[in-house]
Amino acid sequence: MIVLNIDKKLLAADGEMNLGLNLTLEKGQLITLYGESGAGKTSTLRLLSGLMRPDHGKIIVNGKTWFDSDKKIYLPPQKRNIGFVFQDYALFPNMTVLENLEFALGKGQDKKNVSDLIEIIELGTLQHRKPETLSGGQKQRVALARALAERPDILLLDEPLAALDAKIRLKLQDYIQRTHREFGLTTILISHDIGEIIKLSDHVIFLEKGNIIRQGNPDELFINSNISGKFKFTGEILKIEQQEIVYIATVLIQNSVVKVIVQDSEVQDLHVGNKVVVATKAFNPILYKIEG
């Protein structure tokens, strides 16, 4: 369990901003921080990892005090078993991809972890290249793998998938989810992608100007009504066309496009670009196997 109760003055867009966090995060959960640019998401991760020192308050992780301004306890980042994927990747330019990952291993950890990871992020043929010549997305994959290599208790991800294309993004989402579960990690993710958030997270925290304005499970927070029925997907409205008295909304879900009939009364509220949930009550699916 992570108990955060801290304050930190930041220099925000409009003068000083107080980042005030009072949070209890359950062990093993995948928590997402959501909020506008400049809300304090990155700063929250830095405070938790020890890279930024709170002005006052307490951080207690699994019963151990990491920070306590009263007792003058301040565990340095080295002592906090944390994996961190930085917004700017922060790969070590002097090391190849493989060396970056191997360097992250703790003492006595198995090098096999690393070769598994390299396979999973599909960078096998790049493993002896230096980060400088990699594309943005390749770099981001390396950064993610490196943070996982050290098998941390807590994984902090600062928009780890922002620069990735849909295919590799889905793959890495799966991988994050799998690692998160397999290793019993507590993961804190920063993401702007609502689909991704709903897919991955157990708990979402809304930050606004340094304050937590709402939190809860993603369904509660992002979907107005609680949807009954099992089958639901998040998507985005691409087009709304009027056809006689009804409207037809074209919705993008994953890579598929669905056309949904929308009533006149509902259409007022819907605009192109809106995120929506597509759900259904009656549904008779058929399976087709994918070859390959």
Partner 1 sequence: MIDWSPLLLTFELAAVTTIILLVISIPLSAWLANSKSRLKPVIETLVSMPLVLPPTVLGFYFLMAFSPNNAFGEWINEWLGIKLVFSFPGLVVASVLYSLPFMVHPIQCGLSGLPISIKEAAYVMGKSKLTTLFRVQLPNIKPALLTGIVLSFAHTVGEFGVVLMIGGNIPGKTKVASIAIYDEVEALNYGTANVYSMILFAITFCILLAVYLVNGKHLKKLGR
Ligand X SMILES: Nc1ncnc2c1ncn2[C@@H]1O[C@H](COP(=O)(O)OP(=O)(O)OP(=O)(O)O)[C@@H](O)[C@H]1O
Which positions touch Mg ion (CB under 5 A)? 42, 135-136
C-alpha 172/C-alpha 180 separation (Å) is 12
- In the list ligand X, Mg ion, partner 1, none, the entry touching 57 (Cβ below 5 to 8 angstroms by class) is none
Q: In angstroms, give the least distance from the CB of 97 to partner 1.
A: 14
State which residue, 83 or 195, has the beta carbon closest to partner 1. 83
Q: In angstroms, give the least distance from the CB of 4 to Mg ion.
A: 17
C-alpha 184/C-alpha 174 separation (Å) is 15
C-alpha 248/C-alpha 242 separation (Å) is 6
List the x/- string, 113-152, binding to ligand X by CB under 6 A.
--------------------xxxxxx--------------
Q: Angle at CA 82, nearest 5°, toward 80 and 83?
A: 155
**Element of type H or E holding 138:** helix 136-149
Angle at which helices 136-149 and 166-182 cross, to 10°:
10
- In the list partner 1, Mg ion, ligand X, none, the entry touching 40 (Cβ below 5 to 8 angstroms by class) is ligand X
List the x/- string, 51-70, binding to partner 1 by CB under 8 A.
x-------------------
State which residue, 94 or 135, has the beta carbon closest to Mg ion. 135
Q: In angstroms, give the least distance from the CB of 171 to ligand X.
A: 14
C-alpha 275/C-alpha 233 separation (Å) is 10
Indicate the burial class of 108 (C-beta count within 10 angstroms; 0-12, 13-18, 19 or more). Answer: exposed
Where does this chain bind ligand X (CB under 6 A)?
10-13, 35, 37-43, 133-138
